[in-house]
Structure 1
Amino acid sequence: MFIFIVINLLLHKIHGAPTEFINNENLLTKEVFYGESVLLKCKSNVDKYNFEFWLFDKRKIVIGPSNLHDRLKYRYEILTGNLIVRAVTKNDEGLYSCVSKEVHGGNMKVENVKIVILQNWEQIDEHASSINVIRILVASIVLVLLGAGAYVLYSIWRDRYRYPRYLEQSEDEDEDEDSAEEIFTAPSTSAASQSRNKPEKKTSFDNISTDFTSILDASNDS
């Protein structure tokens, strides 16, 4: 859920600029995201014609000099006739007509523009192929970054809690101490065991003659 929220916010910023095109009815159409502002140019304000007012057909609102309207919502320029609609909602969707009057005469000139409100990033203009490419790139980058962040967090958790490194070091040290002690005590232990297993050698003096007189007589006779 968090991933889709992040992607939605990023794409919302990318597609914030209104998309303008001619629809199937040969009508100038602007797609605007919910909550943003849009600028409508008065196409009828040309040579020999001066801007008179805007008419919002859906709500029957007249926007112009000497007409009561929401000045915080709508702001127009008297010279160009351009209209800014702030913080658009679904209620602002519909047909806007810019009416201009001929300078020398009573003829009126009307140019229409339609506003379409986009509430979700999936409703991006299907005519703009570059928008879809950007959407895929942004989504891919976000997924890669989130995956890398999750892996780093998992590695930290694994090293710190699941497989603490200090336990591994202590085990290695114990093994080293045991092996050193075994090497140091091995010679003495083997020597002691060999001395215990080796039979004692006894010296016998039973065959030695102690008759010194006979020995002397034998030597004199010779």
Structure 2
Amino acid sequence: MLNVISNVPFLVIGIIGLILCHYGNYFKLSLQGEVWGWTFFYIGVAAVGFGSSYYHLQPNDARLVWDRLPMTVAFTSLVAIFIMERIDEQKGTASIIPLLLAGIISILYWRFFDDLRPYAVVQFVPCIALPLMAILLPPMYTHSTYWLWAAAFYLLAKILEAEDKPVYELTHHVVSGHTLKHLSAAVVPVFLTLMLAKRTIETERVSLFMVWRSSWTKVRKDEIRVQSSEYHVVSNQE
């Protein structure tokens, strides 16, 4: 039953995100493509609340389609959003429908041909590509680190899913890893919603990698300067 109840946060944050996307443009989305991309994302998140609950009430392959489909909509929407923000606005907008269709087709292919490979590509490639893009490509907006926090919680969710039984035993059969996986995964749209609420247009588009590199270089220079000063003090004392 906890595997069902733990899906409620998806429904809540999905509905909140949809409202904030369209009510007075609270997120201040500057591109029409972004409005569509984030709308599909939050629709996918809200639908996870229904689809995953429906599956866990009576697990079987027919119901699993409705568990995986909303997640695929959310994933593919994020890829399109990233293309808009980090590569090209028009290409990102044009990619929304093809990416959504690719995700849906991967689900249908699995259902009819019992082959998970296309679905695995649709699900796991973004898990690798999006954090890398967040680090390496200059952002259009501030608060890019929220993408990495979201990715970290999704990674935690996958770990909890893989360690389902050990977590269940560790908690003395109170809560399973799969239930905690739902809660951890629900934190992902929470971070992205906070990012949308806080961010502004980035005036100086510098990638996180370059920011980190600059900070590391400055730290190293400060360390060398301190060591040099200490050396001169010791030398003068001698």
What TM-score do the two structures reach when normalised by structure 1? Answer: 0.25
Please state which structure has a larger fraction of its residues in helix: 2
Please state which structure has a larger fraction of its residues in strand: 1
Query: Rg larger in 1 or in 2?
Result: 1
What TM-score do the two structures reach when normalised by structure 2? Answer: 0.23
